Amino acid sequence: MSDTRPAASPKPPPKDPLHGMTLEKILTELVEHYGWVGLGERVQLRCFVNEPSIASSLKVLRKTPWAREKVEGLYLFMLRERRRQSDRS
C-alpha cells in the first residue's frame, strides 16, 4: 500500500536573528562595526578595554551570563540599526 500523506514542506527560516549564530561570530561583527573602544563604551567589561582579543572576550562571555546577554542585545540593536539605514537608502 502506498503512503498518501503529503510531502513535508520545508520549515520557514526562524525569526530569531541569533539562531545559528556563534558567540564568536556575534563578537567579531560587533568589533568590526564598533571597534574595541566603541564596544567597551557600550558594554562595560574589562576584556573589551584592557588588551582586548576575541579569545579572551569569549572566555569571559561564556562564564558570565549577564555579559553575554548584553552583547547579544547590542548585536540585535546593531542589526536593527543597519536595517533602518538600508531602508533609508
pLDDT at residue 89, as a whole number: 74
HSE-CB for 15 with a 13 A CA cutoff: 0
pLDDT at residue 65, as a whole number: 96
Q: Which residue has the cell 503529503?
A: 6
pLDDT at residue 40, as a whole number: 96
What fold, for 23-88? 1.10.720
Q: Which residue has the higher pLDDT, 71 or 6?
A: 71
Taking only the tens place, the pLDDT of each residue in 31-77 is: 999 999 999 999 999 999 999 999 999 999 999 999 999 999 999 99
pLDDT at residue 87, as a whole number: 87
Sign of CA dihedral 24, 30, 31, 33: positive
Domain borders along the chain are: 23-88
Q: Measure Cα distances from 40 to 4, 6, 47, 50, 53 in Å.
A: 58, 53, 8, 9, 12
- Distance between CA 69 and CA 42 in Å, rounded? 13
